[in-house]
Amino acid sequence: LANEFEKHNVELNNLDNISIHNNDASIFLRLNRGEFDVIDIDPFGTPSPFLDSAGYCARRESLLCVTATDTSALCGTYKEPCIRKYNSKPYKSEYCHETGIRILVGFCALTLSKYAKCIEVLLSHSTEHYMRLYLKVKKGSKKSDKSLTNIGYISHCKECMYRECNKGLATAIPAFCPECGEKLIHAGPLWLGEIQNKEFISDMIDESENKKLNSEKQLLKLLNACLIESESPATFYDVHSICRYLKISAPKLDLIFEKIIENGYEAEKTHFSPTGIKTNAPINEIKKILLKLNNG
Ligand SMILES: C[S@@+](CC[C@H](N)C(=O)[O-])C[C@H]1O[C@@H](n2cnc3c(N)ncnc32)[C@H](O)[C@@H]1O
Ligand SMILES: [Zn+2]
C-alpha cells in the first residue's frame, strides 16, 4: 500500500527518474552498494540493525542520516537495551539526551570503522521523542583510526554533579570523584568528538533565511541553537538540578550566564534543555556563582 501512495505522489509532483522499491532495507542497500549519495535510516525504534549495511554500502563523501526513537534506551531509563543495541552503557542524568546522542554517534563510528570508513557529524539533535544524526561518510583506514580516538567515557558523580570525559576505548578512568570521594558512574563507550558542524549549520541557516518560509521558523530555531553549541564542551549543567542540590531558588538564567563569563569561562545555551548551561567552568565554580547570586 505504501508503494501505491509513493507512485501516486510521484505522479502528483510530476517527477521522473524516481524508482520505487519494496525490499528489506539491508538487502536493498547491499544490492546497490556504493550507489547512494544519501542513505536515510528512519525505522521504528532502533536503527542499530540497519547500520551495518548502511556503513558497508555508503560511499565516500555521502550523507548518512540516522533516526532513533528508542530514546529511553539511549538515555538510560533502561540500561540493558542500550547495551544490547548500542554496546554502550548509558546513564540517566540531567544531560542524558546528549549522552544518548553521543552513544548513537559512537556506535555509528565503530560500526563504520569495520569498513575503514569514518564519520563527521554535520548536525545532531534530540527533539521530542526522537534523536537524529546527519553524518558525512569518509573513507580510509588512517582517518578511521584517528576518528576512533574520539571514543571515550563520561564519568559522573551522582552526589556532587562533578563530571569528566576521558577519550580512548580502553583508557584509564577514575573510580572515585575527585571532589567528594563518591563512586563515579561511567557512561560509554561514546563519541566525545564534535556533534555539531558550524560551517554546515551556518550554510543551512543562510539557505533557510533566504527562503523566508514561515514553516521554517521552528527549523531555524533548532539550527541556531545547534550552531551556538557547536564549539561547546561535552555535557552541560542544569541550573534547576544544581539549585535543588543547593536548596536555593534558581537565579535568572541570563544573570548566571553573565557571571560565568565574567569569571573568565565560556557559557552557552543548549538545544538539549532550556535550563542547561554548556560551560568549561567546574561544578564548584558554578555552585559558588549560584550561591552568590542567590544571596544578592
Ligand atoms: C518511521 S517509518 C519511516 C517514515 C519515513 N522515513 C517518513 O519520514 O515518512 C519506518 C518505515 O520503515 C519501514 N520498515 C520497517 N522495517 C523495514 C525493513 N526491514 N526494511 C525496509 N523498510 C522497513 C516501515 O514499513 C515504515 O514504513
Ligand atoms: Zn562528587
Domain that holds residue 125: 32-195
Q: Which of 47-51, 199-203, 205-209 has the lowest mean pLDDT?
A: 205-209
Indicate whether 16 belongs to any domain.
Answer: no
Indicate whether 101 belongs to any domain.
Answer: yes
Ligand 1 pocket mutation pick from 4, 24, 42, 57 by most atoms within 8 angstroms of CB: 42
Tell me the three state secondary structure of residue 43: coil
Amino acid in the structure at residue 286: I
Confidence of residue 85 (pLDDT cuts 50, 70, 90): very high
Radius of gyration, alpha carbons of the chain? 21
Q: How many structural domains does the chain have? A: 2
Of 162, 195, 228, the residue that ends a domain is 195
Indicate whether 223 belongs to any domain.
Answer: no
Confidence of residue 208 (pLDDT cuts 50, 70, 90): confident
Whether 190 and 46 share a structural domain: yes
Of 195, 223, 251, the residue that ends a domain is 195
Whether 114 and 250 share a structural domain: no
Whether 41 and 137 share a structural domain: yes
Q: pLDDT, tens digit, for every residue of 147-166?
A: 999 999 999 999 999 999 99
Q: Which residue has the cell 564519520?
A: 119
Q: pLDDT, tens digit, for every residue of 103-159?
A: 999 999 999 999 999 999 999 999 989 999 999 999 999 999 999 999 999 999 999
Cα distance between residue 97 and residue 101, in whole Å? 6
pLDDT of 175 strictly over 90: yes
Q: pLDDT, tens digit, for every residue of 231-272?
A: 999 999 999 999 999 999 999 999 999 999 999 999 999 999
| pTM of the shown model | 0.96
Tell me the three state secondary structure of residue 274: strand
Residue 149: how many other CB atoms lie within 10 Å = 12
The residues near 265 (Cβ < 8 Å, ≥ 6 apart) are 279, 280, 281, 285
Confidence of residue 213 (pLDDT cuts 50, 70, 90): low
Indicate whether 175 belongs to any domain.
Answer: yes
Ligand 1 pocket mutation pick from 21, 23, 44 by most atoms within 8 angstroms of CB: 44
Which cell is 180 given? 567528594
Instruction: State whether the beta carbon of 168 lies less than 6 angstroms from ligand 1.
Output: no
Instruction: State whether the beta carbon of 24 lies less than 6 angstroms from ligand 1.
Output: yes
Whether 40 and 183 share a structural domain: yes
Q: What is the domain-level CATH number for residue 276?
A: 3.30.56.70
Q: What is the domain-level CATH number for residue 79?
A: 3.40.50.150
Indicate whether 228 belongs to any domain.
Answer: no
pLDDT of 212 strictly over 70: no
Of 195, 223, 253, the residue that ends a domain is 195
Indicate whether 218 belongs to any domain.
Answer: no
> Which residue's C-alpha comes closest to atom 7 of ligand 1?
42
Provide mean pLDDT across the span 4-14: 92
